[in-house]
Amino acid sequence: MNKITKKLNPVLLTALFATTAILSISQANAFERGGHRGVGGFDKIDANQDGQLSLDELTTPKMSKAAKKFDQKDSDDDGLISFDEFQQTRNGTIPDLSDIANEIVQCVADTKAETANDDIMVPTVDKFISPAEKFAATDTTADGFISLEELEDKIIEKVAASFLVMDQDADGIINEDEYNAAKTIKKASKSAIKECIEELNSEDII
């Protein structure tokens, strides 16, 4: 039994399966449209080239990126990430958007309505918790540091939740249409969120 399987305990699986009951209209529409060939990434992730993605195949590249990111963040090479290391970026520190979380959500909802773009998924306020809250959610031992194992556990949890949402026919695998539909939604949603954050943080009044 691999690490991914062992980490998905029955309680977590029950919670994750519950998320599939709240699939947005945008996800369904994107899947029904199909024809999203060429969005990118499917063949690279499909390690055994069987035309479908398993949970392991979807998780493996994320774990690899997480390990590289961990090494980059661990500036003192002590094998742990402190909060100061966690919030550091190339351009400063991770912005705290928690104070404008409700405004971001409303802005994205307005953008979706105004553009009639069903690919935009309106986020929840929880997506914009503070850096301190994000750190604490990953630091499961509450020792003030994030270990590589704790980071991997968080990645496994997030990928598993995404997998169940992407697997719209609940057959336990992700086909290319499902994968590309999810990519399209992610791209549109990320763009809308970015524009809203920039708009809300702008000091211009005209």
List pLDDT tens digits, range 20-77. Answer: 433 444 444 444 444 444 445 899 999 999 999 999 999 999 999 999 999 999 999 9
Count of C-beta atoms within a 10 Å radius of residue 179:
22
Mean pLDDT of 95-121: 97
Following DSSP, what letter does each residue of 104-149 receive, concatenated?
HHHHHHHHHHHHT-TTPPPPPGGGG--HHHHHHHH-TT-SS-EEHH
Inform me whether the pLDDT recorded for 18 exceeds 80.
Answer: no
Whole-number Å distance between alpha carbons of 164 and 170: 7
CB of 196 closer than 8 Å to CB of 111 = yes
Spell out the domain ranges in the chain: 3-201
Is the pTM for the entire model greater than 0.85?
A: no
Q: What element of type H or E holds 189?
A: helix 176-201
Look up tokens 């057959």; give the residue: 171
Both tokens of 100, joined, read 């404008």
The pLDDT, as a whole number, for residue 186 is 95
The pLDDT, as a whole number, for residue 204 is 58
List pLDDT tens digits, range 111-147. Answer: 999 999 999 999 999 999 999 999 999 999 999 999 9
Whole-number Å distance between alpha carbons of 192 and 120: 7
The pLDDT, as a whole number, for residue 203 is 63
The pLDDT, as a whole number, for residue 35 is 43
List pLDDT tens digits, range 140-156. Answer: 999 999 999 999 999 99
